[in-house]
Structure 1
Amino acid sequence: MVCVKNLSFRLQKIILNDITLSIEPKGQIIALLGPNGSGKTTLMNVLADLYQKYEGNVHDVGKVQLLPDYAYIPEDLTIRECFNLFGQVYDTFNIEKAIQIFSYLNLNQDQLISSYSKGMKEQLHLAFLLCHDVDTYLLDEPLAAVDPLTRDILIDLIMKFKTNSGVTIISTHLIQDMDKLFDEVIFMSNGKILLHNSVPQLFEKYPGLSLDDIYKEVNRNVPFN
């Protein structure tokens, strides 16, 4: 059980404000939704243990791999060279899974990362994330800059290679394009969690509304700081 209790984080101002959250990992994909500045990225960085000077408690997240919203793969290397590098750096990197994923994508493992298009580089970053054997995947806006066709490929990749015993949390603004991917939803605003529920329970509570419409409805009367 991923447990977050009374979590607060501040820099010049409060970014996370007394968050309490419990997630039972069972292979589900959770949407982390909220406007810019709501604290989504900060929450992910805390869960990934990148931000450590916070108030409150975070327990049982397990092994974590974060896909940040910026490029981090060395572009002067080939895919095969990245296999060797990541295998040396990360004890969670599964070379057999990496070969399987990149064979599935039908990518030339001896091609330089720098030679790929922007959309292909998005695929590479997601693929390398999924090569890790971890309990928690955290994806920060993984599909923000890709075309609809590439988006479908990436969604398929997540569904096929995600963890089946842990949890995958995806921060995104593309609710309409990804709503069929999610099992649960967390709505954030102003550093607080407004709602955490399963998608079927949300549809039961808000009959006739899409996930995008539910998001708008929940946020309609929330003041923006």
Structure 2
Amino acid sequence: MNKKVVFQDLGLRDYKETWDYQELLFKEIVDAKIKNRREATQLETANHFLFVEHPHVYTLGKSGDIKNLLVDQAQLAAKGATFYKINRGGDITYHGPGQVVGYPILDLDNFFTDIHKYLRFLEEMVILTLAEYGLKAMRSTGETGVWLDVGTPFARKICAMGVRASRWVTMHGFALNVNADLGYFDMMIPCGIKDKAVTSLNAELGLAQIDMDEVKQKLLRHFEILFEAEMVKEKI
């Protein structure tokens, strides 16, 4: 099993461009697995972890309802935002500057073949990272992602998640609000959940800005421990 995970920080990158790149990496892994099965070869399958920030964009998962986007194309354009219907699970979500977006593209045969466990590990990675900032984050039953004050009238989501998996290969991932402009969440019903708010790390800490690179390093460290992975940085 190949436990090496090549990670790249793509910086600020267009959503569609990054989605296409994910699809390319995803296909390379799947094709290697298909060849191994058909030809009895033993090609090593790769694992990747991408960090990225996107310009303002709304994405709708396969099971999502377009009614959860509360604005039309003209209003999106006026706010400098784009929209895509994509092939992950989940409903609608927002990506934008000030948000740490992570896309693990893993062959889970290298780790464990359990999608439920995979999602819980991604949540745990975020929960442990937020704990380093003094926040007690948690899960909300039946609602994938990471939350604060679950079970109270003040429950709010700080990290959204939505993944795709085929042949135990994953793509898409998580979006952690660090310095995000929360006003953009008013243009949708986040994840189709009407009665809960959205927050960000800087808002919770009462700070203008949080060091994004510091957050990424904490996330990577917890990912490496949870997945028993070896992180290898690749230059862009």
Question: Which structure dedicates a bigger proportion of its chain to strand?
Answer: 2
Task: Tell whether the structures are fold-level matches, with TM greater than 0.5.
Answer: no
